Amino acid sequence: MAENLNTSEYHAIFYIAYPYYFPHFLPIHEYFKQQGKNTLFILSTKQNSELMEKIASEEQLDFVFGKDNLFKYKADAFFFAKNTDSTKGIQGKTLFFDHGVGTKYCNYQKACELFDYVIIEGTYRVEMLQKELPQFQHKIKCLGFSKLDPMVNDNSDNKHEMLKKYNLDPNKKTILYAPTFFPSSIEKMSRHFTEDFSEFNVIIKPHYLSLERKAYKNQQKLFKHWALSNNCYIPDVSQYNLTKFISLADVMISDESSAIFECVALDKPVIINRFLKLRWSYYLNPKKLIKRLDQGIEVYRRVGYNPKSYDAMKNDVICALENPKEHQKLRAEVTSSICGIVDGKVSQRIFELIYS
């Protein structure tokens, strides 16, 4: 496998287990570079290696493949967005980020045991961890959500040009459908989804795993069908960053995805589909779903519309487009609680934590 190494000395090393981790780490990488620090991206060999290399090359990153490289380099900080088996032997401070804010459960106890710092976005999880893991308070740092930094700092207004680039109509409002892979609403959506919203642009941004795994072939069939509509654009797997599509949207439809809160942070209306397709094992054992989802987050679903059927969703989308300021106060409150401070300076605070 290829590699791109321009120096033997690095200050920050990022471990990329999946391509969709890049948007969380690239803003931090950019800030380190601005401060004259060298960074290295270590890419997993267990995912789409060709895509990983393409992204790293396009972003002009120093990169190498193979998790074993974590133990070959010294650095001031090593960044992870997924729990690992062990950090013993890593030569530098270790930092853990949950790779998304949202409804799915993360094992923070293991993260607190393994890593030097656990970066938390907002007050909701901080308060939860203060109660559940008081012995690790010295490791838990509430700094915000780095993935949002570029969206806050980008003052360009290129929405018109971007929509034209995707063969969409800049004069129409845009609906973004950004579902997760499981538990998902995709297979509960109508085959006529794009036709039902023919008066609008429809961007469908599937999760990376929905496109990559054979287990989700039924989801992939629906994507191919919807893509036939003239008013629809579906990014391929190489377009890994959801945030640029959120910036184009007037409303976003999702389900159990952290994208809900990313959209809310930009003060845009959201539809949270509650009609989900589950695996048979989840129907037989409902406790599995309860375990997979963070039950404490339920209260925050009031930030948007919560349709329990496709027909209800259609009505809610129209309501959201006609009344974009509904839920606005709640969006601000939830952003503070879930995403934390959204000021474009999260990467700076992370840098200062390491070098304080």
- Those residues whose C-beta lies under 8 Å from the C-beta of residue 231, and which sit 6 or more positions away, are 168, 169, 172, 194, 197, 198, 200, 201, 202
* pLDDT tens-digit readout, 171-229: 999 999 999 888 899 999 999 999 999 999 999 999 999 999 999 999 999 999 999 99
Q: Residue 258 — pLDDT band, cuts 50, 70, 90? A: confident
Residues 207 and 305 both lie in one domain: yes
Q: Is residue 332 part of a domain?
A: yes
Domain span at residue 17? 12-152+343-355
Give me the pLDDT at residue 283, please.
47
CA atoms within 13 A on the CB side of 53: 13
* pLDDT tens-digit readout, 75-92: 999 999 988 888 999 999
Phi, psi dihedral angles at 253 (to 5 degrees): -105, 135
Residues 179 and 310 both lie in one domain: yes
- Those residues whose C-beta lies under 8 Å from the C-beta of residue 339, and which sit 6 or more positions away, are 101, 121, 122, 144, 145, 148, 261, 262, 264, 265
Q: Domain with 92 in it: what CATH number?
A: 3.40.50.2000
Residues 133 and 236 both lie in one domain: no
Residues 216 and 103 both lie in one domain: no
Residue 157 burial (CB < 10 Å; 0-12/13-18/19+)? exposed
Q: Is residue 102 part of a domain?
A: yes
Tokens of residue 205, six digits: 């941004």
pTM: 0.88
Q: Is residue 16 part of a domain?
A: yes
Residue written as tokens 């459960």?
105
Which residue type, as a one-letter code, is found at position 116?
D
* pLDDT tens-digit readout, 293-321: 555 566 678 899 999 999 999 999 999 99
Q: Is residue 7 part of a domain?
A: no
Residues 214 and 268 both lie in one domain: yes
- Round to whole Å and give the CA distance between 179 and 287: 22
Using a pLDDT cut of 70, give the percent of the chain over it: 92
Residues 311 and 351 both lie in one domain: no
